[in-house]
Amino acid sequence: MTTNDSLTLTPRPGMWNWQHLALRGALVLLTTSLLMLDDWIQQWFTVANQADFELNYFVALLAFNLGLWLSGSRVFVTCILVLLGGMELIQLSHISYAGRPLDPIVLASLFSEFGDVREVALADFGDHVHVLFAVLIPYLAAWWLFMSYMRSDVRRWQRALGVMLVAAGLLSKPYRATYRDLNSFLPGPTRSGLHNSLNTFSFFLVHNVLRGSLHAAPAPVAAATRPEVVPFPSDAQHVWLFVADSLRSEHLGIMGYERDTTPNLARRMEQGLVARHGVAAAVSTAASMPLIMNAVREPGQLDQIRRSFLLQIFQMHVCRVPMGSVGGVSSDGEIRWRTML
């Protein structure tokens, strides 16, 4: 006589029933959404991140996450998440500081001018600390899901399929970079941060690390000697510096704009004021402002900047600089370049 127990189907290791399949599908969908959540979080803090939802990329990322779940290896998944999270920290930081996605050329300069980048990053870190939350919250949540619900008793073919899906997601971009030019890997402002990161870092890996053919243009080398200051008689008592952030010269009446947007400056020009075109030294205000106050060409000349601070030259040769009048003067009267960042 056949008992009920003999008719019970005991799942073998690696076999999933429909409940397990539904749970795994939900987990794949959830971790995929978490890896795209960092852009949405950053958009709460800055309008510079303009990433939109990309259906094609979402499907590709869905297959990538399926591969992570099928791999059955917590160590493997942890390494992949650390890699992606590190790229996103750099990508979203650049969006926050510079206002645009990171491209391969800028990525190369970040490494070649790491000292300058570190100085600017530390000076304004408080204004961009949201990047840490934007990346850490979703990536740690995804990591916790993988560590808590990942099954290690997957079959060998499932594990192999998972590794193949992950490898396809990570290696397809570098492979394309071997036969396509830079234009195919430039970031798009409405792409997700991770999509731009994979493009940028893939092109950088192939052309900078492996081939050594992509290098940022070397910084212009200024003269090593101190700028020569020639005193001349003057009745001027004060020197004023007015700075307008994000002001376009083509919208100024004194620069040829059809509307009279600068009537007061126009009257000053009749009295001898000279107006010339200028080009900002950097996109970020924090990077370009210190270079206004230094007789050194941009970028990367930190040692010369410290020896050529204009306020220090003024104090020594031209005029007295009162304490507290400029952000570059500390409370004890010492002129410091770093505080100007």
Helix axes 156-177, 193-204, angle to 10 degrees: 70
State the pLDDT at residue 122.
83
pLDDT, tens digit, 9 for 90 and up, residues 9-55: 445 554 457 777 888 899 999 999 999 999 999 999 998 899 999 99
Write the pLDDT tens digit of every residue in 217-254: 444 444 445 556 566 676 766 666 677 777 777 888 88
Tens digit of each residue's pLDDT (9 = 90 or more) over 68-92: 999 999 999 999 999 999 999 999 9
Q: Which two tokens stand for residue 54?
A: 């990309």
User: So what's the pLDDT on residue 341?
Assistant: 28
132 has a pLDDT exceeding 90: yes
User: Is it the case that residue 1 has pLDDT exceeding 60?
Assistant: no
Residue 165 has pLDDT above 90, yes or no: yes
pLDDT, tens digit, 9 for 90 and up, residues 246-257: 777 788 888 888
| 291 pLDDT more than 80 | no
Rounded-to-integer distance, Cα 173 and Cα 201, Å: 9
pLDDT at 312: 57
In angstroms, the Cα distances linking 276 to 181, 190, 268, 269 are 38, 35, 14, 11
Q: E strand or H helix at 114, and its extent?
A: helix 114-123
Give burial (CB, 10 Å; 0-12/13-18/19+) of 38. Answer: buried
Q: Tell me, what's the pLDDT at 16?
A: 53
- Residue 303 confidence (pLDDT): 55
Peptide bond into 187 cis (omega under 30): no
